[in-house]
A and B are shown apart, each in its own frame.
Chain A
Amino acid sequence: MRSLTLLATLLAACLAARSVAAGELALPVHPARVVSMNLCADELVLRLADRDQITGVTWLARDPRGSSVFAEAVDVPRTRGLSEEVLALHPDLVIAGAFTTRSAVGMLTRIGMPVLELGVPGDFDGVRAQIRKVAQALGHPDRGEALVADLDRGLAEATVAPRLLRALVMRPNGFTVAPGSLGDAVIRAAGLVNVAAEIGRDRLGQVPLEAAAFAEADLIVLDDASTETPSLADALLHHPVLERLRQEGRTVSIPNRLWNCPGPQVAEVVKRLAEAARARTAGYPLPKTGEHFLPAGTLQ
């Protein structure tokens, strides 16, 4: 009998939860306890919100490898994006990514938590819109405008090279930047052509190393990290083939944190790429595949 009562109570609770989810919840105008469940949301929250509004960010926000706001995140409570952790923080606004921690976000939505989901912008307009959206949700639209102005100022400062150079991005595990993504927009803004569009990428966007070597890219953009904490994924970017291109000045390293997420920091990537392209057109003759591109014996 007791178990029957328990079952009935549970059923009632489930029905109640469903009925809450059915009605659209309005986001609070000026949230006081914001919890972010995605690194890119962390970055915008840490840039836009008052410190006392921020109740939790992800553990990734403190990682200097991937986070552009690792210093600001030091004294903020962190979660691993689990629904229990988030609930324990009693948030009045949860900001999540549209593709991460899906089951936790689903749970939070079901129990009636106000959740703002952020997509993955594919161009600079998308970045501006996302900054404004988060700033609005945090109750600081003015700061959003200021951040967008920062981004635009950064983009305006980049001086593109006089010639259109070909660039290929190589990330850990040989992943590249697909056409139509923000990374592709960044490359084009720097006055470069994204070679990934023409060489055979598999459906995951991975480029075999030898295909990268023969892609006739003027500039290979390496998203490489320090070798202190090694992995096979990162070791690929230190393969002798890429090391040799690096010695010839045909590569440029861009830290992962600068273009991991949409934000004003991507303007810095545009600036660095444009600068590398200018150095490449000014300082080095551009060799073609098959020609000698280095005097014999200059390498170990």
Chain B
Amino acid sequence: MNAPLSPLVQRSHPGRWLVPSLALLVAILVIVSISSGYAAFDVPAAAADWLAGRNTLQALVFWELRLPRALLGALVGFSLGLTGAVMQGYLRNPLADPGILGISSAAALGAVIVFYSGMAGALSLALPLGGIAGAAGAALAINLLAMRGTGTLGLILAGVGLSSLAGALTALALNFAPNPYAALEIVFWLMGSLTDRSMDHVWLCLPLMVIGWLMMLSTSRALDALSLGEDTAASLGFDLVSVRLRIVTGAALTVGSGVAVSGAIGFVGLVVPHLVRPLVGARPSASLLPSGFAGAALVLIADIAVRLLPARPELKLGVVTALVGAPFLIGLLFHHRGRG
């Protein structure tokens, strides 16, 4: 069940240009995302208006609709990709992903309780905090199971159980919500969407996400050591308690705040590290940043696709990512069984 060790000693740098080129791809996709929408307007002129501080209508739409949508796609995608890579490295489990392990659905539950009870109206920071609390609970539970030595498929099954439970509790919370529209909004929370978000949402989740990213990136060397086993990692001088704490907190911060503003977008964290690994080798640390950027690219592509597809009302992002991700997951499961 461990990743093959041979690439550990290869030490070559096939991914020297990978991170810059992925970053460039994300930048291009952000621009494409800003340029696609439902109303035709001169985007460069709008951006110029905004930069010059002119309060025109097109500058307003650029700044409050197009830009936040593109930025959130990149931020949420980066978070999901990075968290998936960290989880797969830390749990030494090729199927680990915040969606499959139930962290995203638990985050949605936390955000739903905070949002529909009206707490987020009183204090806007309550919304990401609710998501983070839910995500932290799920991440802790998964971590405890992993520490008890639960195997690859055992963890995934526990995650499936946790996802269903959190999804059911979300539906329950929405049905108890006093607003008549609430019960219909479960699709947003379980499938995710970036429609009509605003810059407020970016400011709400950006700082928390960045802290989470830094926490998770700080464990990259420990993840490499952990691929040799926990005892070896401990003997190499890594404080495993601190590593666990940083991973759980980092995952909760990034996934929790992301889900609170965009809903739970599935499969990104599962697919992306597997796409990246052939390019960077099996060393967990090498896949972290590329997975983040590839995750950002995947979510941006999905979000551009839902606007270009003729389906109205717009498809939820989770539909597109699941179309790619679910067959991938089934393939991985068969592959995994084949290897025993």
The reply to whether A202 and B312 contact each other, CB–CB distance below 8 Å, is: yes
The reply to whether B54 and A236 contact each other, CB–CB distance below 8 Å, is: no
The reply to whether B61 and A210 contact each other, CB–CB distance below 8 Å, is: yes
For window 45-77 of B, CB contacts with A under 8 Å fall at: 53-58, 60-61, 64-66
In the complex, whether B121 has a CB less than 8 A from a CB of chain A is: yes
The reply to whether A210 and B54 contact each other, CB–CB distance below 8 Å, is: no
In the complex, whether B115 has a CB less than 8 A from a CB of chain A is: yes
The reply to whether B60 and A213 contact each other, CB–CB distance below 8 Å, is: yes
The reply to whether A241 and B60 contact each other, CB–CB distance below 8 Å, is: yes
Cβ-neighbour of A204 out of B41, B53, B115, B313 (below 8 A): B313
In the complex, whether A2 has a CB less than 8 A from a CB of chain B is: no
Contacts A214-B39, A230-B115, A231-B116: A244 and B60 contacting too (C-beta < 8 A)?
Answer: yes
Interface centre among A214, A228, A244 (most CB of B within 10 A): A214
Please report the C-alpha to C-alpha distance between residue A63 and residue B199 in the assembled complex, in whole angstroms: 33
Residue numbers in B under 8 Å from A214 (CB-CB): 39, 41, 57-58, 61
In the complex, whether B38 has a CB less than 8 A from a CB of chain A is: yes
The reply to whether A296 and B54 contact each other, CB–CB distance below 8 Å, is: yes
Nearest residue in A to B41 (C-beta to C-beta)?
A: A214
- Interface residue ranges, B against A (CB under 8 Å): 37-39, 41, 53-58, 60-61, 64-66, 115-116, 118, 120-121, 177-182, 184-185, 188, 196, 198-200, 312-313
Contacts A203-B312, A209-B65: A229 and B56 contacting too (C-beta < 8 A)?
Answer: no
11 contacts across the A-B interface (CB closer than 8 A): A63-B180, A208-B196, A213-B65, A227-B121, A229-B177, A230-B118, A231-B185, A232-B188, A233-B184, A239-B198, A296-B53
Residue numbers in A under 8 Å from B120 (CB-CB): 230
In the complex, whether A291 has a CB less than 8 A from a CB of chain B is: yes
Q: Give chain B nearest CB distance to A299 CB in angstroms.
A: 7
Please report the C-alpha to C-alpha distance between residue A214 and residue B184 in the assembled complex, in whole angstroms: 28
The reply to whether B121 and A230 contact each other, CB–CB distance below 8 Å, is: yes
For window 221-274 of A, CB contacts with B under 8 Å fall at: 227-234, 236, 239-241, 244
The reply to whether A206 and B313 contact each other, CB–CB distance below 8 Å, is: yes
Q: Give chain B nearest CB distance to A20 CB in angstroms.
A: 36
When each residue 181-222 of chain A gets 1 if its CB lies under 8 Å from chain B and 0 otherwise, what string results? Answer: 000000000000000000010111010111101100000000
